[in-house]
Amino acid sequence: MMITPAPHPVKTAEINPTADVVTVSHLFKSFGANHVLADFNLILHKGESIVVLGKSGSGKSVLIKCIIGLLKPDGGEIRVLDQDIAELNDIEMDALRAKIGFLFQSNALYDSMSVRDNLEFPLRRHWIQVTPGEVDLMVMEALDDVGLKHTVDMMPVELSGGMRKRIALARTLILKPEVILYDEPTTGLDPITSKEIIELMVEIQRKYNTSSLIISHDMNCVRLAGDKVAVLLNGRCRACETYEELQKSKDPEVLQFFQI
Amino acid sequence: MGNNSTFSLFLEETGRITVFFARFMSHWFRPRYEFAEFLRQCYIVGYRSLPLVGLTGFIMGLVLTMQLRPSMVDYGVESQIPAIVGIAIVREIGPILTALIFAGKIGSSIGAELGSMKVTEQIDAMEVSGTNPFKYLVVTRVMATTFMLPVLVIMSDFISLYGSYLGVNIKGITSFNLFWNQVFDNLVFSDVFPAFIKTFLFGFTVGIIGCFKGYHSNKGTEGVGSSANSSVVVSSVLIFIIDLLVVQVTDLIG
């Protein structure tokens, strides 16, 4: 069944405060003399959606790349689904990654593969035990979720920017992840398509009860997609509250994001 | 100052290639084996290169014979053309010409493809999808170039010699059997074996340099072009250096 985007995204995820999906504790990451993350702390609960807001180059993408294990932190601890990622071997890390969806800023669709092959790739690579018929059903269900069933045999180069973003989202959904990490999901899209993608993200979270960590500096995305907003300033999480609470923040550096 | 900087960049690049080579050596024999991707790469780098390699080989054989003929006629040894052309093609011209064409076509293609995948985060996406991108992208491509170039060289040698046969018959008459008998009667093991071995090294060089340049591409789309370009330049220079070294070693062995 295809998800019909709601006129206004509704945040209905049931939050269980006792279940922490992602816990980032005292995270440090530097590139040479550039200290990108310095004692960063964040907790993402089950079913919750947090948008990490920060200036360009403030280390937002570095944060989620550390969480998914693409970058190695210099210090601190990252626990995802109750596992310390620093202690996992390659096989355990792959098993954990099967439970995490990652939407890349550039979509990262494989140019040499059709949409079907792009979606099947994570299934085949994570050794998911499914029959060819089931694979086909899963691919069509994921495409149905993003409203693009008709593109199944198209190549990525034939798709528009918004369609590519939706296909990339479908690829993250195919393994039914427990947590989805979004890296600048609306970057490079026009305002209407951006709104459609944001609505889709909210609907997906509601349908599958996933937890979401969204990196963005698009204030529409921040306002509509997040249960909470974490403000990343000078390598630290300066505040993590609701959008409305942060609008009344007394910290001028935090407040500057909400006065644009 | 400028020279020091260039020299230190050269040393740095050499060090990075050495580390990349060591990483390849530690990965290629360990599971998980990517046979399907390896076979796909063999098809791409081997089968799809055959028309270009064949055409250049044919022209080279034909032109070499036509250029050689006047001098051979002057010395009265026209009948030795098949033997001389055969030795020249099998020992040197076939391997080096095919390797250079291969570096231009496949080296640049690998550099650009991996560079593009790097800047569009496709390599990261592979890692997130439970795939070791080094094994999937680098090991398969390097193995494919290593095993396909020798096959292409053998085919190119035969096509070149056929071109030479046609060249001989432009101004003379030599039967097909006589031509090939003259070629093979004058080829010995020490002509064929070193030439065959060095083609593996050429193929490996094209693959590892193309993958290294692409895998470490940066600076966005500009970096992709630069990766493709430097893949061809570096692997072409290395092909000549390896050729020189192999000739020295085989001469020492005798």
Considering only alpha carbons, which residue of chain A is nearest residue B125? A108
> CA triplet B37, B41, B43: central angle to 5 degrees?
120
- B126 CB neighbours in chain A (<8 A) are 125
* pLDDT, position B47: 93
CB contact under 8 A, B124 and A108: yes
Answer for the pair A226, A194: CB distance below 8 angstroms, yes or no.
no
Task: For chain A, give the mean pLDDT.
Answer: 87
Q: What are phi and psi of A80, to 5 degrees?
A: -120, 125
Q: pLDDT confidence of B222, banded at 50, 70, 90?
A: confident
Whether the pLDDT of residue A7 is over 60: the answer is no
Q: pLDDT confidence of B2, banded at 50, 70, 90?
A: low
Q: How far apart are CA B163 and CA B158, in angstroms?
A: 9
Considering only alpha carbons, which residue of chain B is nearest residue A97? B128
State pLDDT tens for residues A141-196: 999 988 889 999 999 999 998 899 999 999 998 888 999 999 999 988 888 889 98
Percentage of chain A modeled with pLDDT above 90: 53
Answer for the pair B94, B183: CB distance below 8 angstroms, yes or no.
no
Question: How far away is chain A from the Cα of B113, in angstroms, using its nearest Cα?
Answer: 10
Domain membership of residue B154 as a residue range: 2-253
Percentage of chain B modeled with pLDDT above 70: 98
State pLDDT tens for residues B42-88: 999 999 999 999 999 999 999 999 999 999 999 988 889 999 999 99
Ranking A41-45, A89-93, B38-42 by mean pLDDT, the lowest is: A89-93
State pLDDT tens for residues A113-122: 999 999 999 8
- B31 CB neighbours in chain A (<8 A) are none
Indicate yes or no: pTM above 0.90.
no
Q: pLDDT confidence of A110, banded at 50, 70, 90?
A: very high
Q: Is A4 exposed, middle or buried (0-12, 13-18, 19+ CB in 10 A)?
A: exposed
CB < 8 Å from B in window 80-99 of A: 90, 94, 97-98
Whether the pLDDT of residue A225 is over 70: the answer is yes
What letter would DSSP give residue B45? H
H-helix segments, A146-186: 161-173
Answer for the pair B65, B163: CB distance below 8 angstroms, yes or no.
yes
Q: Coil, strand, or helix at residue A87? A: helix
Q: pLDDT confidence of A217, banded at 50, 70, 90?
A: confident
Side-by-side strand order, sheet with A179-183:
A100-103, A179-183, A211-216, A49-53, A228-233, A236-241
Q: What six digits make up the tokens of A253?
A: 């550096």
Q: Is A116 exposed, middle or buried (0-12, 13-18, 19+ CB in 10 A)?
A: middle
Q: How far apart are CA B200 and CA B179, in angstroms?
A: 28
Give the H/E segment covering residue B2. Answer: helix B2-27
Q: What six digits make up the tokens of A43?
A: 């907790």
Residues A45, A46, A50, A56, CA torsion sign:
positive
- A109 CB neighbours in chain B (<8 A) are 122
Give the count of domains, chain B: 1
State pLDDT tens for residues A56-88: 888 999 999 999 999 999 999 999 999 999 999
Report the candidate in A207, A210, A122, A99 with the shortest Cα–Cα distance to residue A171: A122
Question: How far away is chain B from the Cα of A222, in angstroms, using its nearest Cα?
Answer: 24
Q: Does B27 touch chain A (CB under 8 A)?
A: no
* pLDDT, position B254: 65
